[in-house]
Amino acid sequence: MELVIKEKKSKRRWRMTVLFTVMATVLAVLAYTFLILKHDPALVNLEERLWPASMEHPLGTDHLGRDVLTRLLLGAQLTVGYGLLSLFAAVIIGVPFGMIAGFKGGLIDRIFMRIADTFLAFPDTIVAIVLSGLLGPGIENLLLAIVLVKWVNYARLVRSTVITERQKEYVTVAKINGLSSFGIMRKHLFPHLIGNVLVLSSLDLGKIILLISSLSYIGLGAQPPAPEWGAMLNDARPYFQSNMLLMIYPGLAIVFVVLLTNMLGDYLRDAFDVKKEVGS
């Protein structure tokens, strides 16, 4: 039995090492993209349009003669960067709301639940499309729509955890010792939230990247000439039959990053021993 447990731990450690090595490599490439690329991602050169792969253009050029590799790597900075930014904003807004609603209860909790039920009555994608359409096309409005959709998930997760923890003895002892509500939430309740929030964030990042790419594909996100992966898919759509690689490259990039974030979420869920419901 002990041998089986050791083998499982060894396999998990090996997968963790591979996963974090790949993620570190991806982040390093994204961080130093400007140092390794020599083409202007917005430079139009119609004389070089739809060129195949070559030493000068390793992945060829698009319909406007722009280097595909350059736009693909810079698109990673935009797509992943926008995803991280909107995710961070959703967490910053959702966690405090959830802590206050769960700890205080009463009228504050009832108001929060009604707001949460309003957002959760419809799928995230539908709400994001409606909000983006109302606010107008543009990546800033898209990020705002994603934050308005996603913060509720973190607030509800934190609220349920706080409601469970506030009934335990250590919280009662802290109240008896005169610790303020803010002090109890900061010192005693917040550490219990970190694992759940990290797991949900890692699983949510892939969903947000897909949402950004899909809405940019239909024209509600990043606007030309921004080299965002969803926008690149839309630009390459008319040339699918003559040069399908223009769509395959950004499509594979999206699949790779989303798969990587989901693997990270699965590892963190096992590491923090979080229930499967967190990722559902």
Kindly state the percentage of the chain with pLDDT values over 90.
18
Q: Report the pLDDT value the prediction gives residue 26, as an integer from 0 to 100.
A: 66
Phi, psi torsion values for 122, nearest 5 degrees: -130, 155
Q: Report the pLDDT value the prediction gives residue 189, as an integer from 0 to 100.
A: 84
Q: Which residues, 6+ apart, have CB-to-CB distance to 100 below 8 Å?
A: 108, 185
Q: Determine the average pLDDT of the residues in 1-11.
A: 53
Tell whether the model's pLDDT for residue 132 goes beyond 80: yes
* Crossing angle of the two packed helices 68-104 and 190-217, in degrees rounded to 10: 140
Render pLDDT for 74-85 as a digit per residue (tens, 0 to 9): 888 888 888 999
pTM, full prediction: 0.82
Average pLDDT of the chain to the nearest whole number: 82
Higher local confidence (pLDDT), 116 or 94: 94
Higher local confidence (pLDDT), 209 or 265: 209
Q: Report the pLDDT value the prediction gives residue 280, as an integer from 0 to 100.
A: 45
Least reliable range by pLDDT among 13-17, 126-130, 133-137: 13-17
Question: What is the DSSP secondary structure assignment for residue 67, as one 8-state letter?
Answer: B
Q: Report the pLDDT value the prediction gives residue 85, as an integer from 0 to 100.
A: 92
CB neighbourhood size of 3 (10 A): 7
Q: Report the pLDDT value the prediction gives residue 277, as an integer from 0 to 100.
A: 44
3-state helix vs strand vs coil in the chain, percent to 5: 75, 0, 20
Tell whether the model's pLDDT for residue 273 goes beyond 70: no
Render pLDDT for 194-205 as a digit per residue (tens, 0 to 9): 888 988 898 898
Q: Report the pLDDT value the prediction gives residue 6, as an integer from 0 to 100.
A: 52
Distance CA 128, CA 219 (A): 13
Q: Report the pLDDT value the prediction gives residue 276, as an integer from 0 to 100.
A: 47
CB neighbourhood size of 63 (10 A): 16
158, exposed or middle or buried, with CB in 10 Å at 0-12, 13-18, 19+?
buried
Tell whether the model's pLDDT for residue 11 goes beyond 90: no
Q: Report the pLDDT value the prediction gives residue 147, as an integer from 0 to 100.
A: 92
Tell whether the model's pLDDT for residue 8 goes beyond 70: no
Q: Which residues, 6+ apart, have CB-to-CB distance to 69 below 8 Å?
A: 37, 39, 57, 58, 59
Residue 105 region by backbone torsions, left for phi larger than 0, else alpha for psi between -120 and 50, else beta: left
For the chain, the distance separating the N- and C-terminal CA atoms, rounded to the nearest angstrom, is: 31
Tell whether the model's pLDDT for residue 23 goes beyond 80: no
